[in-house]
């Protein structure tokens, strides 16, 4: 069996020539095509080569992403970004994820990071983020604060002209490779237990790429997917940062972060859709090539109907994503809908990638075909950026009112 079949050739799906819907403006089609070309020519071959050996996203690939402006899609033009919307951002994310989800994720380490900045912090950091030279890692989750993020206990104390941070963080992806950490810590421990989301602040901690800040130790987590970068457990032991590391207003970071979640959830949906599309395209190719009982397996109705179901599910999730992106870009509240699309797309991606693996038979259960990567990575989309259960909680709370217990 050849090491990684050539999955980079376009299929009928990649070359969709269906009538173009009106929301796909010329500019959007151009952005989508540029991202697709980059994903198929550069990202996918890199993923096929490096993911099986647990290699890291190469600097050269990041440089090309920077040249394309991908780290500044959402950053206003006055700060050197492209000043585009969530729609364009998610179009690109789907394409990148079709190649390698981690690359679609690293894009967010420039784009989303400016929230809560003062005007001075924006002038200082956003242009460098937009150019891709200044990418971040986000330390919110803790060993005892996952879904229940308001339970975080990492503590920041004011000491003269400094803040001193102590405590543990879990799951900090890219902590080593990033140029700065955004750390959420409790600055007011005496808040009412019923209002635990108050008294939490965010800190911007610049650092040298490839290292951790003084006072921080990191241990990599052994993940089953989401390769291309490392995810860390971090221990903060008297990590001292200057007073101006505080992002925005003291004690209000929970709201700042929550305000950014709609975009993050649409982006996660886009990543899930990209993975599912990659798996579908590979399954179609394999269904044409693999012969059993004297004919390509794509002749069997069992396989044909799987393909039909997979394509239908992907398109349904994509259309909801387009709707959510349009709502976000119009400035309308859509926390319920962004939870819906995150839930729908990630559950869909797990099913579709699993069916694609099934269509590959035993070959799907090897590392010779990319479909196992799509399957492993799709599994994560149901967990991060809020689990499926948490999305259902948000949706049902909006429909029924918050549950009493």
Ligand X SMILES: Cc1cc2nc3c(=O)[nH]c(=O)nc-3n(C[C@H](O)[C@H](O)[C@H](O)COP(=O)(O)OP(=O)(O)OC[C@H]3O[C@@H](n4cnc5c(N)ncnc54)[C@H](O)[C@@H]3O)c2cc1C
Query: Which window, 138-146, 248-256, 274-282, 350-358, contacts ligand X (CB under 6 A)?
Result: 138-146
**Applying CB under 6 A, does 171 fall inside the site for ligand X?**
yes
Q: Site size for ligand X, by CB under 6 A?
A: 19
Binding residue for ligand X, selected from 226, 229, 369, 374, defined by CB under 6 A? 226
Whether 20 and 29 have beta carbons less than 8 Å apart is answered as yes
Q: For ligand X, which is the closer residue by CB, 54 or 319?
A: 54
Q: For ligand X, which is the closer residue by CB, 311 or 383?
A: 383
First-residue to last-residue Cα distance in the chain: 55
- Count Cα atoms within 13 angstroms, Cβ side, for 304: 5
Given the residues 95, 313, 337, 385, select the one marked as catalytic.
Answer: 385
Least distance between ligand X and beta carbon 105 (Å): 9
**Residue 389 CB coordination number (10 Å):** 11
Q: What is the rounded CA–CA span in Å between residue 15 and residue 55? A: 30
DSSP string covering 276-322: HHHHHHHHHHHHHH-EETTEEGGGSHHHHHHHHHHHHHHHHHHHHHH
Q: For ligand X, which is the closer residue by CB, 146 or 274?
A: 146
Q: What is the rounded CA–CA span in Å between residue 343 and residue 374? A: 17
**Applying CB under 6 A, does 141 fall inside the site for ligand X?**
yes
Task: Please return the burial class of 332, using the count of CB atoms within 10 Å of its CB with bins 0-12, 13-18 and 19+.
Answer: exposed
Query: Which window, 49-57, 170-178, 320-328, 347-355, contacts ligand X (CB under 6 A)?
Result: 170-178
Least distance between ligand X and beta carbon 37 (Å): 29
Least distance between ligand X and beta carbon 209 (Å): 17
Binding residue for ligand X, selected from 38, 71, 87, 138, defined by CB under 6 A? 138
Q: Which residue is nearest to ligand X (CB)?
A: 146
Query: Which window, 132-140, 201-209, 236-244, 262-270, contacts ligand X (CB under 6 A)?
Result: 132-140
Q: What is the rounded CA–CA span in Å between residue 320 and residue 338? A: 9
**Applying CB under 6 A, does 268 fall inside the site for ligand X?**
no
Binding residue for ligand X, selected from 64, 128, 162, 223, defined by CB under 6 A? 223
Least distance between ligand X and beta carbon 271 (Å): 12
Q: What is the rounded CA–CA span in Å between residue 273 and residue 350? A: 10
Q: For ligand X, which is the closer residue by CB, 7 or 187?
A: 187
Helix (H) or strand (E) holding 327: helix 301-329
Least distance between ligand X and beta carbon 149 (Å): 7
Structure tokens at 331: 């400035």
**Applying CB under 6 A, does 256 fall inside the site for ligand X?**
no
Residues of span 360-399 touching ligand X by CB under 6 A:
380, 383-384, 387, 389-390, 393
Task: Mark whether 385 is an active-site residue.
Answer: yes
Least distance between ligand X and beta carbon 281 (Å): 25
**Residue 248 CB coordination number (10 Å):** 17
For residue 79, what are the contacts with CB-CB under 8 A and spacing of at least 6? 72, 114, 122, 123, 126, 127, 130
Q: For ligand X, which is the closer residue by CB, 40 or 239?
A: 239
Backbone angles phi, psi at 194, to 5 degrees: -80, -10
Residues with catalytic function? 385
**Binding residues vs ligand X (CB under 6 A):** 138-141, 146-147, 171-173, 223, 226, 231, 380, 383-384, 387, 389-390, 393
């Amino acid at each position: 069996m050849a090491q990684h079949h050539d999955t980079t050739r376009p299929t009928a799906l990649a070359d969709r020539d269906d009538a173009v819907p009106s929301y796909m403006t010329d500019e959007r089609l151009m952005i989508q095509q540029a991202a697709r070309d980059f994903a198929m020519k550069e990202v996918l071959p890199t993923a096929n080569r490096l993911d099986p050996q647990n290699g890291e996203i190469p600097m050269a690939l990041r440089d090309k992403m920077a040249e394309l402006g991908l780290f500044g899609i959402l950053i206003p033009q006055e700060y050197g970004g492209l000043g585009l919307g969530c729609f364009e951002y998610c179009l690109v994310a789907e394409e990148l994820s079709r190649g390698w989800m981690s690359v679609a994720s690293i894009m967010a380490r420039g784009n989303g990071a400016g929230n809560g900045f003062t005007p001075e912090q924006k002038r200082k950091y956003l242009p460098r983020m937009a150019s891709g030279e200044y990418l971040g890692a986000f330390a919110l989750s803790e060993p005892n604060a996952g879904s229940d993020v308001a339970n975080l206990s990492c503590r920041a104390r004011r000491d003269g002209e400094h803040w001193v941070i102590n405590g543990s963080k879990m799951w900090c992806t890219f902590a080593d490779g990033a140029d700065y950490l955004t750390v959420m810590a409790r600055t007011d421990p005496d808040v009412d237990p019923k209002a635990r989301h108050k008294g939490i602040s965010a800190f911007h901690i610049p650092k040298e790429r490839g290292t951790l800040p003084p006072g921080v130790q990191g241990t990599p987590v052994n993940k089953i997917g989401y390769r291309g970068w490392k995810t860390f457990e971090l221990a903060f032991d008297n990590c001292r940062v200057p007073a101006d590391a505080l992002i925005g207003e003291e004690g209000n970071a929970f709201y700042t972060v929550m305000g950014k979640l709609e975009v993050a959830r649409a982006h996660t949906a886009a990543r899930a859709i990209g993975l599912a599309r990659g798996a579908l395209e590979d399954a179609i190719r394999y269904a044409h090539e693999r012969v059993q009982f004297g004919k390509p397996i794509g002749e069997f109705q069992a396989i044909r109907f799987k393909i039909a179901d997979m394509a239908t599910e992907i398109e349904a999730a994509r259309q909801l994503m387009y709707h959510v992106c349009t709502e976000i870009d119009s400035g309308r509240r859509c926390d319920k809908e962004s939870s819906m699309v995150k839930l729908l797309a990630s559950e869909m991606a797990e099913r579709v990638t699993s069916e694609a693996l099934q269509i590959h038979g035993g070959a799907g259960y090897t590392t010779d075909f990319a479909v196992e990567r799509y399957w492993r990575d799709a599994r994560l989309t149901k967990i991060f950026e809020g689990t499926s259960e948490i999305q259902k909680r948000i949706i049902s709370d909006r429909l029924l009112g918050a549950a009493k217990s």
